[in-house]
Amino acid sequence: MALVAALTAMAVGASTAAAGPNDCGQNGCVVLVEVDGLEPGDVTQAGTPFLWALAHPAGTAEDPTGTAYDNLLADRNGFMWQAARAPMTASTATSAASLLTGSNPDQHGILADEFEAPLGPSKTPARVRLRPTEDQDAGGGLATPVSTGASSTLLELAVNSSVADAPEAWAFIGNPALAVMLDDQLQLDGVTAWSPTAQSGSDPALCPLPRAVPGVGAGTGGEVEGLSERACPSRDATTLQQAFTTFSEDPEGKTPVFAYIHLAELGRMKQLHGDAEVPATLENLDAALAAFVSGLANHPETSGAWQRTVLVVTGNHGYESTPVDRRVPHPDHVGATDWDFSDFLESALPTDKPTRLVPQGTVATVYSPKATAADVTALAALIEDKGDEACQELAQEDCIAEVAPVATLAELHRTWALNPLTEDGKPTGAGGQLVVTLEEGWAFGRATQRSDDPLTPPADDADEATNPYPGSAGGPRNRAIALVMSGPDESGPLLHTIGQGPRGGLAAMSAPQTPPRCTGSPKTADLANDPDTMADDAAAPGHECQAETVDVALSIAGMLELDTESVPVAPHARFLNEAFTPDLGEQEEVEEPQPELIQPAPPPPPEPIVIVRGSVQVITPPPPKDPFPYRGLIRRLRTRVTDARGKPFALAQRGATLSTIEVQADFGKPESLVTLTFYRRARGSRRSRLSAIARFKPFTVKRGPVRLRLRIPKRFRPTHLGVSVQQVETVEGQTRTVGKPGGGIAQIADARRLHLRKGATRRLRG
């Protein structure tokens, strides 16, 4: 609590100041706070009053006069969802990757905190892990850097955006292993990053338990070698204090367009201690967030930006109680905590078909790459039979919930997306052959190290204590997360107020009411978060307006107008428009018109008539050649981004701003009426959808090739241009349209470079 008090003191001591010229970008700022382990039931009016107030700044039906944070949250609106969902697997690595990319695990390739992937030319399976290893020489705290593949994160999109003169993104990551995983993004020019180290910010009380007992070093006085040098997660107050200090002490007085804060304490406490420490941890989290926001709202260097900032607080996944005596046992070693089901499965198939089970808490992935389809079917039956048999012997209950073949996972659970594919559509192997989920209260893994000498580290990870925790995550029951947003009510995308207070607004999402534009039968919060029914319910009736992690990333990109055209956003991702006015993305569906049939080329002119008169040949000359033979409405529609002189990116001079769109087309009628419309491709739809964002007044063009240059205001970032054409004619001074209209929609070449300056460089921070 001392750190919370210090942060509060700094916030209270700051004085309010007006917005500076460098505050945020043209669309404001977004601060994204990811709280490990924050579940819907954790956010309550009594237990987390500030988090509740963020979503209910106008009060509630029970408290219509408002909240204790009225001054702090004045002129702000809020929103929350009753049943937001994390991706599968519900683990820190997967959730963080989906939150920052808006893509599914099968797109960004990070399937769990720990999984196997064929690496390098040899395609040898190698263990990829987020959790720190206990490397004695390095002092521990290591993790595997994992590229997010083709999925750019919000950090990368923000520093490459055109929404600010010198866009920056900041990241404050309380889990050092997660910082290692995201290292390629944190090293980008324009990204400022902080994470705890063994020398600064690390709290040993939050460190993962050693998976293998280290040796005792000579001359250390009995101190366990290496553990004192481990980089451990930081307390939430420490992470938020580091963030606030960076915000308030930036030498240029800047506020980044996008800031990402990962808070690790709640999740670590749930994993290390189960439910016992949750109330006190939530109280500290709530107080630290209140102090952080108070500091932003009142400090002279940040108060102006806060007035234009949307704050998003989201959980990443949930945890459940899994006592160490509820590990799926080895059928031949029931009751032995140093043996587990993975040891049994290694000998399930012949030695020429190696099989491994990688425990991921309440779920596991089985790898047997040389197994035939028949082998996989037999293996699934063996897991279910032997697993339940062993659990019955241990605790008189079944423990295997489902054994799902990865090859048919998309049919069984269409929202799990756990089978990465290569560009040619073949599986990479990272998804394994089987996914196994467990009944409530059970987990995979080994509670203790299996070794003859407890002071001798094992030779490999086969003998590690892979899950010594009383709390676990990973399965479909752990996908429920809390999601709260708070934003200004006067500028930028406006968050609706929820609650029944003086400022009015929509009904709270925690009440059984249907959100805007949703259909189906709405569910209460308790029913919506029933652990037994939430596996694939994000798109089920009554959940159409519930949020998923991928929706958060897409919505943040929509708030800041970041270019996601080339980013593989999840196919089912959607803008969370129920919370915003105006909408972040498209609402109308625009069917792309069929291209106009190009008229066939006219027949060749007839051969000249030759008349022979005696010895003189008279040749009738052909009719004059039409220099522009096309007589249809429009053809050869092309459009691209250029500089003001019409030069594309490759030919533009260094420093030139690419804020012009050039349009070329052939018009075949004597006079045509033309209407241009800007469209933007919408993410998250199964059909080809475009959103109309601007339409020009109609104008006329003459027959022939036409070239247009359009200077585009910064607030518009179209990806497609539509052209509607209709022939017009003037009779007795009156102009009228004739014939059927035509036209088409063309993708704008280099649309992602619109409003960028060629060759612009950005300052490397930190």
Record the pTM.
Answer: 0.74
pLDDT value of residue 597:
33
pLDDT value of residue 60:
52
| Helix pair 236-248, 2-13: axis angle to 10 deg | 20
Taking a C-beta distance cutoff of 8 angstroms, is the pair 178, 130 a contact?
A: yes
Number of residues written out for the chain = 766
pLDDT value of residue 687:
40
Task: Quote the longest CA-to-CA distance of the chain.
Answer: 127
Give the ranges where 323-444 is alpha helix by DSSP (H).
Answer: 341-345, 373-395, 409-412
Q: Which residue has the tokens 């947003």?
A: 485
Q: How far apart are CA 400 and CA 437, in angstroms?
A: 6
pLDDT value of residue 123:
59
Q: How far apart are CA 364 and CA 376, in angstroms?
A: 15
User: Would you call 562 exposed, middle or buried from its count of C-beta atoms within 10 A (0-12, 13-18, 19+)?
Assistant: buried
Taking a C-beta distance cutoff of 8 angstroms, is the pair 694, 678 a contact?
A: yes
pLDDT value of residue 730:
81
Q: How far apart are CA 271 and CA 302, in angstroms?
A: 35
Q: How far apart are CA 48 and CA 282, in angstroms?
A: 7
Amino acid at 534: M
Q: How far apart are CA 315 and CA 282, in angstroms?
A: 13
In the chain (766 residues long), the average pLDDT of successive 10-residue segments reads 47 42 72 96 91 77 60 82 90 94 90 80 65 38 52 86 77 93 87 92 88 49 49 95 91 84 97 91 96 92 88 96 94 89 88 90 94 93 96 95 92 88 79 95 90 52 81 94 85 45 27 38 70 71 73 89 77 80 54 36 52 55 68 89 85 82 88 85 51 79 86 80 88 80 85 73 33
pLDDT value of residue 449:
82
pLDDT value of residue 241:
96
Amino acid at 311: L
How would you classify the pairing of strands 309-315 and 29-35? Answer: parallel
Which of 267, 231, 266, 261 shows the shortest CA–CA distance to 244?
261
